[in-house]
């Protein structure tokens, strides 16, 4: 066993007294730190900033293992480096390509026949933005006096974290009163020949040096659909391979409408199909062999890129959780309502938690609330109900609350009223964009003021539309209130204020004009 050293922080006592965290102020610290956070993503940020803001002595570990093709990045976690941020920027790039064509219809003198993206420039712009976000993150750590170690941390016992400062160096260890595990997850690879050697994942695509070209996107969850859509918008040729259904867990009608919208835009779906092998051809392209599980027919096709989007696994394997006694389920950590694990002073936040939404704002808010409970006397728990979310496809899909199926399952079909309607965004008329998939619905109670249980919207800027409604829904929004709200005209969000057709009525939900 290599020599073990203890890391000491020179500024701890001065810091905790100057910032006023009085919990242990009078006593000699028993541990090196008040809080050690494993993971430098946004879940970790929430808790470490909250802790440091209360005067706690905080140390954060963050380490990223390179992907099989060698992609690596620094602090900031998935969202900043290989998730929400680069994804939103590529989504925007693809929407802009579409807007160029619309601009011509609006009278702009643009030669829209010859537009094509400069993939290399786009990747550089995206990566430059990420660098600037990370610079701010590092500055913020310094400002908040949070110590940062760029190493993988693992448990030696329930209060002790072990790490190696650099490859080949001796093991070091630190002790902490509390430990928060915020290690997130990484993409899975299918267990088939060639998958790891020849395929890439969302961890690689946002910094991919060559143009993706004809791309097989395997997986029809958030990542698969979003990547397929921005690739299509940028002029490449994605095909989506679906194992069972599109967007499992979402409202079925909305998911199928979204898939129809993608098909209309020229994205093919290979339904009920699983990959069998990936092989490199003599010309360098990738031959993918697959099987349709409905027909049991085998097939194959050739692609330039294969992108796996089959879900993510929690990064528990390097944590040595057994040494601390922390219980897990599959590759996630089990926590209670206060994010406490089976060991009361060890907590977990973000994607690593079992059974909670894997979304950035969930990770941030749960981390922040946890820090307030640990260091500022708060008792407020994270409310994981009715978390709004958006799938960033060209017509976006955003929702909050229950799907139609869940509402019927929990309340019974007789107790549910579904208000719905297609609509025509004003800005779609001049460029004659398809309005076939612009649709929204409210799932509500059938009686009284008709409390709304779920809202669903497919259309432009869906996330911007649903965010405000999410707060209203958490405050007990009813159909009566929505219909008594004066809309902002002409917007697409105002369509919620005129949802008068119920599915039960059997009336046609297609609008006659823009303003009916
Ligand atoms: P992470 O951000 O994954 O951070 C964990 C960090 O800990 C990583 O840096 C990891 O390398 C490090 N680490 C792991 N093990 C150790 C260890 N033992 N020691 C030290 N460090 C360790 N969410 C949204 O809300 N909106 C979106 O639009 C959205 N888009 C997404 C797009 C993509 C392509 C992906 C993949 C995800 C997207 N998400 C989105 C989900 C969002 O990115 C995650 O929910 C969020 O990043 C989770 O944060 P976290 O802090 O829990 O984990
Ligand atoms: P998801 O779990 O959402 O989707 C995984 C997809 O892969 C499903 O279609 C699933 O099919 C399929 N699949 C799973 N295992 C296999 C397998 N062995 N072989 C073939 N297909 C398989 O994962 P994602 O990676 O898309 O997203 C991970 C999480 O990241 C999301 O849950 C979300 O919380 C977060 N995220 C959020 C975004 C946002 O907010 N806009 C964007 C991107 C990610 P099946 O249905 O048959 O199981």
Which has the higher per-residue pLDDT, 116 or 252?
Answer: 252
Instruction: Identify the residue whose C-alpha is closest to ligand 1 atom 29.
Output: 84
Ligand 2 centroid to 389 CA: how many Å? 14
For the segment 275-296, the average pLDDT, to the nearest whole number, is 98
Instruction: Identify the residue whose C-alpha is closest to ligand 1 atom 3.
Output: 184
pLDDT digits (tens, 9 = 90+) for 3-23: 333 333 333 333 343 334 444
- The pLDDT score that the predictor gives to residue 123 is 98
pLDDT digits (tens, 9 = 90+) for 349-372: 999 999 999 999 999 999 999 999
pLDDT digits (tens, 9 = 90+) for 440-452: 999 999 999 999 9
Residue in the structure block whose two tokens are 């076939």: 436
Say if residue 297 is in the same domain as residue 339.
Answer: no
- The pLDDT score that the predictor gives to residue 46 is 83
Q: Is the CB of 367 under 6 A from ligand 1?
A: no
Atom of ligand 1 nearest to the CA of 151: 20
Q: What is the dihedral of CA 83, 86, 87, 93, to 10 degrees?
A: 180
Instruction: Identify the residue whose C-alpha is closest to ligand 2 atom 7.
Output: 310
Banded pLDDT at 265 (limits 50, 70, 90): very high
Q: Which of the ligands is closest to the CA of residue 86?
A: 1
End-of-domain residue from the set 376, 400, 425 = 376
Say if residue 419 is in the same domain as residue 329.
Answer: no
> Of 11-15, 143-147, 180-184, 327-331, which range is least confident?
11-15
End-of-domain residue from the set 289, 310, 331 = 310
- The pLDDT score that the predictor gives to residue 239 is 98
Ligand 2 centroid to 247 CA: how many Å? 8
508 CB neighbour count, 10 Å cutoff: 10
Is residue 321 a part of any domain in this protein?
yes
Q: Is the CB of 63 under 6 A from ligand 1?
A: yes
Q: Which of the ligands is closest to the CA of residue 355?
A: 2
- The pLDDT score that the predictor gives to residue 12 is 38
- The pLDDT score that the predictor gives to residue 326 is 98
- The pLDDT score that the predictor gives to residue 513 is 63
Structural domain total, the chain: 3
- Rg over alpha carbons for the chain, rounded to the nearest Å, is 25
Q: Is the CB of 396 under 6 A from ligand 2?
A: no
Instruction: Identify the residue whose C-alpha is closest to ligand 1 atom 52.
Output: 350
Using CA atoms, how far apart are residues 94 and 91, in angstroms rounded to an integer? 5
3-state class (DSSP) for residue 20:
coil
Say if residue 301 is in the same domain as residue 341.
Answer: no
3-state class (DSSP) for residue 308:
strand
- The pLDDT score that the predictor gives to residue 53 is 81
207 CB neighbour count, 10 Å cutoff: 18
Extended beta strands in 315-388, E state: 328-329, 332-333, 346-348
Ligand 2 centroid to 343 CA: how many Å? 30
Instruction: Identify the residue whose C-alpha is closest to ligand 2 atom 36.
Output: 222
Say if residue 340 is in the same domain as residue 435.
Answer: no
Name the residues annotated as catalytic.
489
- Test site for ligand 2: of 218, 222, 309, most ligand atoms within 8 A of the Cβ: 222
Annotated binding site: 88, 153, 219-226, 311, 351
- Provide the residue count of the chain: 516
Using CA atoms, how far apart are residues 420 and 509, in angstroms rounded to an integer? 7
- The pLDDT score that the predictor gives to residue 453 is 98
- The pLDDT score that the predictor gives to residue 49 is 80
Instruction: Identify the residue whose C-alpha is closest to ligand 2 atom 14.
Output: 310
Using CA atoms, how far apart are residues 250 and 399, in angstroms rounded to an integer? 9
Q: Is the CB of 226 under 6 A from ligand 2?
A: yes
Say if residue 69 is in the same domain as residue 179.
Answer: yes
Ligand 1 centroid to 250 CA: how many Å? 21
- The pLDDT score that the predictor gives to residue 1 is 35
End-of-domain residue from the set 310, 332, 362 = 310
**Domain of 46?**
33-77+121-186+313-376
Say if residue 305 is in the same domain as residue 318.
Answer: no
For the segment 308-331, the average pLDDT, to the nearest whole number, is 98
Say if residue 175 is in the same domain as residue 214.
Answer: no
Residue 42: exposure state from Cβ atoms within 10 A (0-12, 13-18, ≥19): buried
Say if residue 445 is in the same domain as residue 475.
Answer: yes
- The pLDDT score that the predictor gives to residue 28 is 54
Say if residue 177 is in the same domain as residue 51.
Answer: yes
Mean residue pLDDT across the chain: 93
Say if residue 357 is in the same domain as residue 477.
Answer: no
Is residue 289 a part of any domain in this protein?
yes
Ligand 2 centroid to 390 CA: how many Å? 14
Q: Is the CB of 29 under 6 A from ligand 2?
A: no
Say if residue 294 is in the same domain as residue 327.
Answer: no
Q: Is the CB of 194 under 6 A from ligand 1?
A: no
> Of 37-41, 47-51, 155-159, 465-469, which range is least confident?
47-51
DSSP lists the bridge partners of residue 389 as 399
DSSP annotation of 461 reads T
């Amino acid at each position: 066993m290599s020599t073990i050293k203890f890391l000491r922080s020179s500024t701890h006592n001065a810091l905790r007294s100057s910032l006023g965290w009085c919990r242990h102020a009078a006593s000699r610290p028993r541990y090196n730190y008040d809080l050690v956070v494993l993971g430098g993503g946004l879940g970790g940020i929430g808790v470490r900033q909250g802790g440091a803001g209360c005067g706690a002595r905080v140390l954060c570990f963050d380490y990223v293992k390179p992907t099989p093709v060698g992609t690596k990045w620094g602090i900031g976690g998935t969202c900043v480096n290989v998730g929400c941020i680069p994804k939103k920027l590529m989504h925007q790039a693809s929407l802009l390509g579409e807007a160029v064509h619309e601009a011509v219809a609006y009278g702009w003198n643009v030669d829209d026949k010859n537009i094509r993206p400069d993939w290399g420039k786009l990747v550089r712009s995206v990566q430059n933005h990420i660098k600037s976000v990370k610079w701010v993150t590092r500055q913020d750590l310094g400002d908040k006096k949070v110590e940062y170690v760029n190493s993988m941390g693992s448990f030696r016992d329930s209060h002790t974290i072990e790490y190696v400062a650099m490859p080949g160096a001796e093991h070091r260890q630190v002790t902490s009163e509390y430990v928060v595990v915020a290690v997130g997850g990484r993409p899975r690879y299918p267990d088939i020949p060639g998958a790891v050697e020849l395929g890439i994942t969302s961890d690689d695509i946002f910094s991919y040096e060559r143009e993706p070209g004809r791309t097989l996107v395997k997986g029809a969850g958030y990542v698969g659909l979003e990547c397929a859509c921005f690739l299509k918008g940028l002029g490449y040729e994605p095909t989506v391979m679906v194992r069972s259904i599109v967007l499992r867990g979402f409202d079925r009608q909305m998911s199928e409408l979204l898939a129809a919208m993608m098909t209309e835009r020229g994205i093919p779906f290979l339904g009920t199909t699983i990959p069998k092998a990936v092989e490199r051809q003599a010309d360098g392209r990738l031959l993918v062999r697959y099987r349709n599980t409905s027909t049991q027919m085998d097939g194959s096709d050739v692609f330039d890129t294969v992108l796996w989007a089959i879900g993510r696994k929690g990064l528990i394997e390097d944590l040595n959780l057994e040494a601390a006694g922390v219980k897990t389920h599959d590759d996630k950590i089990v926590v209670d309502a206060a994010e406490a694990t089976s060991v009361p002073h060890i907590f977990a936040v973000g994607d690593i938690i079992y059974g909670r939404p894997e979304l950035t704002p969930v990770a941030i808010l749960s981390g922040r609330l946890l820090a307030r409970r640990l260091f500022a006397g708060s008792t407020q728990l994270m409310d994981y109900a009715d978390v709004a979310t958006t799938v960033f496809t060209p017509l976006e899909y955003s929702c909050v609350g229950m799907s139609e199926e869940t509402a019927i399952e929990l309340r019974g079909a007789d107790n549910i009223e579904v208000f719905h309607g297609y609509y025509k965004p004003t800005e779609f008329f001049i460029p004659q964009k398809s309005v076939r998939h612009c649709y929204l619905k409210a799932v509500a109670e059938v009686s009284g003021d008709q409390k709304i249980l779920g809202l669903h919207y497919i259309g432009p800027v869906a996330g911007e539309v649903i965010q405000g409604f999410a707060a209203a829904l958490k405050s007990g929004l009813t159909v009566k209130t929505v219909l008594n709200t004066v809309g902002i005209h002409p917007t697409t969000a105002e369509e919620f204020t005129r949802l008068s057709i119920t599915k039960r009525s059997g009336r046609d939900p297609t609008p006659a004009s823009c303003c009916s």
